[in-house]
Every structure is written in C-alpha cells, then in structure tokens.
Amino acid sequence: MARILLSILFAASWASCTFAQSDCPPLPETGVQIGEPVPIVPGDIPAGCSAFEILVARGTSEPSFPKFGVIVGDPVVGNASVALAGVRGYPVQYPASSAIITGGRQGIADIVNRLNAQSRTCPNQTFALVGYSQGASIMHKAAEKIPTALYPKIKSVVMFGDPNLRLGRLGEQFPTALRAKLLQNCAIDDPVCDKGTCQIHHLEYIRPEWTNRAVNFIVKAFQGTPLPPSETVGLE
C-alpha cells in the first residue's frame, strides 16, 4: 500500500509541476522538484554475473523506490525478477535532470560501458534495455554506439513514453536489429509520446496493465520465446 501511495503522489506532483492547464485534473503537491537531479548511488550497481540483466534509464527526476525509478523501473524489475529466476536490474548511472545534454552524455556512456564490461566479464549474460521518457531518449542515443557484436545479447528493448514515437519518421529510430525486439509503451493522450495535453497521461505506466505487458515481453525474450515487436499507441 505504501508503494502505491508513493507512486500516486509522485505522479501527481510531476503532472502538476509540468502542466497547469485548467482542463487537467487538480493534483496535490508532494515536494518533488522536476528538473532536479536524482542521486546516483554506486552501491546500487550489482556485482558479478547474472543470467539476465535489465538496464533501466529512468525519467526526469523520477525517484527510486528502491533503486530503478518509482513509475517504471522498480515495478518492472521487481516483477520480472519474481517471474524469472536470475533476473536483476541495473540503474543507469545518470542524474535524470533538466541538464539533458551533459546528463544525457553521462547516461549514454554508462549504458555502453556497462554492456561492454558485462559482456567481457560475463559472456553468457543477456540484457533487456528499458527507458522511460528522458531515459527512452538516452536509450536511443546509446543504441547508436552499442557495438553490433553485442546486439544478439540484447533480447528486448522496452520503452515507455518515448518522445521519439510522437515524432514519427522524424524521430530517432533504433537500429533495425534492435527495432525487431522493440516494445513501445505509449498511453493514449500522453503528451510526450502521443498528442495529449495533460501530463498525467505520461504517468500511467505505474498501472499494472503496463507493467505486466512489459514484464511479459521481457521474460519471454529472455526465455527464448520472444513476442512480436509493437510500436502502437495504447494497450493492445
């Protein structure tokens, strides 16, 4: 219950800080300052090898609960680790702040370095890439720099509220080999990935329907029975 309440309060704060239109629902304040950096905690980096690792790039100022991001990362990693033994998460080490250029470079480098390092140390480890909002943009940029030799190790690519989806052909696209493993999660009327105006729709991904959809896609891919890719808006 505490987790649900925290998630709702954070979502409400984010919405009220970014959109103030009169036609959007009134939302309570929680003290979350959008644009502020999220503390980077090196102690959250998992050591050694695992069978499966989910790299999570959080959304702007999205706090941890406990490690990966209260809206997307923590629910996805938590449920995937229950569904499949050997799954763990890796929080991309970047501030997720309004300093998008410098922070983004930090996140991009961290993703590429993590994949390279783990692939050398743990040759049997496979990966899923998860990005939410600003984190989705960072995953797009990182994908351009990931060595193609590592593509077979990346079993799924799962985005939430991806700004590039709204841009269509003008947006950044994942390399073809990774796009074949892509699940786009975009809520109807999300102003970031769709065409809405109320930011609350950008926070719908805390809902179990979205978490379960993503976890099923990730777990099936790790098990060697991948589901078809999807880039549609809304829940299928």
Is residue 170 over pLDDT 80?
Answer: no
Higher pLDDT, 217 or 3: 217
CA distance 174 to 131: 13
- pLDDT number for residue 24: 77
- pLDDT number for residue 83: 98
CA distance 80 to 62: 20
pTM recorded for the entire structure? 0.88
Is residue 82 over pLDDT 90?
Answer: yes
Q: Which residue has the tokens 């040759």?
A: 123
In this structure, what token pair is assigned to residue 218? 């990730």
Is residue 54 in a domain? Answer: yes
Backbone angles phi, psi at 31, to 5 degrees: 95, 0
Range of the domain at 104: 38-222
- pLDDT number for residue 31: 64
Backbone angles phi, psi at 32, to 5 degrees: -75, 125
- pLDDT number for residue 14: 42
Is residue 97 in a domain? Answer: yes
Query: How many structural domains does the chain have?
Result: 1
- pLDDT number for residue 113: 98
Is residue 9 in a domain? Answer: no
CA distance 187 to 177: 25
Higher pLDDT, 199 or 208: 208
Q: What does the pLDDT look like over 103-148, one tens digit per residue?
A: 899 999 999 999 999 999 999 999 999 999 999 999 999 999 999 9
- pLDDT number for residue 29: 60
Q: Which segment of 11-15, 21-25, 176-180 scores lowest on mean pLDDT?
A: 11-15
Q: Which residue has the tokens 């179990």?
A: 208
Is residue 86 in a domain? Answer: yes
Q: What does the pLDDT look like over 148-162, one tens digit per residue?
A: 999 999 999 999 999
Is residue 32 in a domain? Answer: no
- pLDDT number for residue 169: 65
CA distance 136 to 6: 23
- pLDDT number for residue 97: 85
Is residue 12 over pLDDT 70?
Answer: no
Is residue 91 in a domain? Answer: yes
DSSP character at residue 37: P
The C-alpha angle 46, 127, 183, rounded to 5 degrees, equals: 125
- pLDDT number for residue 197: 87
Is residue 118 in a domain? Answer: yes
Spatial contact of 13 and 27, defined as CB atoms under 8 Å apart: yes
> Domain containing 105 — which CATH number?
3.40.50.1820
DSSP 3-state percent helix, strand, coil across the chain (nearest 5): 45, 15, 45
Q: What does the pLDDT look like over 20-77, one tens digit per residue?
A: 455 776 554 656 677 888 888 989 999 999 999 999 999 999 988 889 999 999 999 9
Is residue 26 in a domain? Answer: no
CA distance 169 to 151: 23
